[in-house]
Every structure is written in structure tokens, then in C-alpha cells.
Amino acid sequence: MTGGFIMQNRRAFIKNLAAGSVGVGLLGEAAVSLAAQSNEYIKLTVLHTNDWHSHIDPFPADAPRHANEGGIARRSALINQIRKEEENVLLLDAGDVFQGTPYFNFYKGKIEFELMSEIGYDAATIGNHEFDNGLEGIDSQLPHAKFPFICSNYDFSDTILAGKTIPNKVFERGGLRIGVYGLGVELDGLVAPDNFGKTRYLDPLKVALEQEKLLREQQGADMVICLSHLGYKYRSDKVSDQIIADNTYATDLIIGGHTHTFLEHPEMHTNKANKQILVNQVGWAGLLLGRIDFYVTRRGHAKSEYTAIPIK
């Protein structure tokens, strides 16, 4: 699995050699060979779900679509397996945990949060369906979640949720500092006004730019992940993951949700700083688990590009 990594390094080195000055080239070569010799890279495995909508059990055997697929016990088994194989795992959810099966109607989200806690989710953001039983419906279930809710563009300060979510968090994995911020969709027109009360919705792009800067410059984040419930793409100019990806400077990955988009693979974008950013989303109902492994080096010279290839 590391073969491709070394090859990529070498290719990038040659490319840089051709483009850059001799001085940089020589320094670069030294750095690359060091990295290659000592295998000095950190592998970060990001696992993610979105819009799993209370689908605790697999789809019924007689379901017209997705029969027997999904199920959180199966998801947990896979996550356990990956955790056995990988040292640095981050498990995230991009919102809309609530609503979709009678489990939610009867238990109001308690079991969803308990199971996510047991599986060891590191964080989630809040989707529009989390408001289905109002702000009280979120507040009453938060004690069942042993992981933080990261919401950067919902201002809950005038609501009962004041101080109960966080705007960002830095996770340490294998010596890497990974900053995470969270973006929620505009609630007006989507959620009944009574259900979100005095929640203020802030401009997602503006907040994303503030958060990535803050995480990088003040909190020393090596990588930045955006947990988004904005939606993958719209025909209108409504803000989406595409818009965030193309207009930010320092975010490495957007884990999306809301539009229930089944992406075959993460989508590569070029951001405002001409750097790569990935956008991924895994449909809905817990039918898939997204996995993205980042091979990160501190030794190599700053490359302009990396390649993304499927795990076989």
C-alpha cells in the first residue's frame, strides 16, 4: 500500500526539479529520500456518515430498494475492523441522525445518540431534521451523546442550546492536529419557525473562511475538515459544498450531507489558494461508510498536488 505513496513522492520531486531552481531541488531531494527511507508519513483515516436518519436496522428483506442493506450493527463491526488495522482514525457524522424510522418517533433520538457514543463517534454536526422536535427535542437528547456537536454557523446564544454545541474542535491523531468546523443549512423555509426559535443562521462561507483561518493560525491545525449539512450542489446559487470548496483557502476535506447524494468517490476541487480540497458524501440511511486515508508528511517539501486513488 505504501508503494504508490513513494512513487507519488518521486514523481512530484521530478516535477519540482524541472520547474524549480537547483537549490530547492537539492534540498527537496534530501527531504524526499529521508521521508522515503524512514517511512515518515502519518496515515490519518477519516470515516464518515451523513443523513443516516434513524436507520438502526437494515432495510427490511421485502423492501423494494436496498433490501437487507445498511444497519448500524454492521456499520459498527466495519468500524471496529478498521480501528484494529489503523492507528489514527477519526469518525464523523454530517447531520440528520434523526427522523426516518419509528425508532425516532418513539425514542426521540435517544437510541441513535447512545449507539453513536458506543461506536465512538468523535463529533457530529446538526442537520435540519435534528430540529424536528424543536430546540427542546435537541436539548433533551444531547445528554445521550458522548461526542460533541460542532456547529459554526448556527448561533444558539439566545436559545436553550446556548453553550451546548461548539464552533470547532482540534483532534490530535498521530501527532497531527486536525481542526474540524461545522456548517448547517439555512433553516428558514426548511424547518418550522417554532422549531428553531431564536437560532441565528450565519453566512456559511463567511464562517468557513473565519474558522479555517482560526484553526490554522491560532490553533495550529495541520489539516482542516468541514462537516457540512449544506448540501452537495444546487441549480440555484444557494450555498453548497461546491461553493465552500471553491471559495475557501485552507480546508482539506468537506464531509457533506443533506442532499442524500451518493458519490462514487470523493470529488476533487481546487480552492482559492490553488490547493486541492476533497468533497465527499455517502447517500443516506447508513447504507455506506465513507473512508478517506490521508498520507501526510512533515518531511517532504510542499508539493502543489497529490493524487487520490481508490482503495482496492
Residue 132 touching other proteins (CB under 8 A): yes
Of 70-78, 87-95, 141-149, 152-160, which segment contacts other proteins by CB under 8 A? 70-78
Binders of other proteins among 33-62, rule CB under 8 A?
Answer: 41-42, 56-57
Bridge-based pairing of strands 176-183 and 223-228 is parallel
Spatial separation of the C-alpha atoms in residues 177 and 180, rounded to whole Å: 10
Stated as kind and residue range, the H or E segment containing 113 is helix 110-119
- Grid cell, residue 226, equals 468541514
Residues 163-202 that bind other proteins (CB under 8 A): 176, 192-194
Q: Does 265 bind other proteins (CB under 8 A)?
A: yes
From 144-152, 207-215, 231-239, 294-302, span contacting other proteins (CB under 8 A): 294-302
Interface with other proteins (CB under 8 A), residue total 79
Least distance in Å: CB of 279 to other proteins?
12
Q: How far is the CB of 125 from other proteins (least distance, A)?
A: 19
Q: Which stretch binds other proteins (CB under 8 A): 24-32, 155-163, 205-213, 239-247?
A: 24-32
Within positions 225 to 244, which residues make up the interface with other proteins, using CB under 8 A?
none
Please choose, from the candidates 131, 248, 223, 245, the residue with its C-alpha nearest in 3D space to the C-alpha of residue 168. Answer: 223
Q: Does 288 bind other proteins (CB under 8 A)?
A: yes
Amino acid at 101: T
Q: Which three cell numbers stand for residue 138?
A: 435537541
d(Cα 80, Cα 119) in Å, to the nearest integer?
A: 8
Footprint of other proteins on 2-21 (CB under 8 A): 4-5, 8-9, 21
CB 11 within 8 A of CB 304: no
- 297 is a site residue for other proteins (CB under 8 A): yes
Measured from the CB of residue 206, what is the shortest distance to other proteins in angstroms?
A: 25
Measured from the CB atom, the residue of 160 and 166 that comes closer to other proteins is: 160
Alpha-carbon gap, residue 229 to 71, rounded angstroms: 22
For residue 152, give Cα distances in angstroms to 214, 228, 261: 12, 10, 23
Tell me: does residue 289 bind other proteins (CB under 8 A): yes
Q: Does 69 bind other proteins (CB under 8 A)?
A: yes
Joined together, the cell numbers standing for residue 279 give 468533497
Q: Which residues, at least 6 apart from 203, have a Cβ–Cβ distance to it below 8 Å?
A: 153, 239
CB of 215 to other proteins, least distance (A): 13
Residue matched to cell numbers 527531504: 31
Q: Using CB under 8 A, pick the residue from 18, 102, 236, 274 that binds other proteins.
A: 102
